Amino acid sequence: MKHVAQQIVMQKLRQLTVEDILHYSQKYHIKVTQNEAKQIVAALKKNQENPFDPEGRKRMLKNLAAITSTETAKSVQHILIKLAKEHGVEHWLQ
């Protein structure tokens, strides 16, 4: 069941919109500009890494930092952690 749920989350990440990213950034008080949100969305659509695997998440964030900035990648990591906590699955990110 965990694997299926993780696949659903990964699909959702690929379907996020700029508005979604901006909404979550405001909700969690993480600074993300409109341009950064566009870059994040583009990167997530192409992402093949598993964010639930520590090494996959590290590669995903490193790739995102190369496209945007280290600060933007850190913002995405913070949003991902906050969302996982909100949904009670933060242990999946261990």
pLDDT at 1: 65
Residues 6+ apart with CB under 8 A from 19: none
pLDDT at 58: 93
Alpha helices in the chain (DSSP H): 2-15, 18-27, 34-46, 54-67, 70-86
Q: Could you say which DSSP state residue 85 is in?
A: H
Q: What is the pLDDT of residues 10-62, one digit of tens each?
A: 888 889 999 999 998 898 888 889 998 999 899 889 888 888 889 999 999 99
pLDDT at 88: 86
* pLDDT at position 91 over 90: no
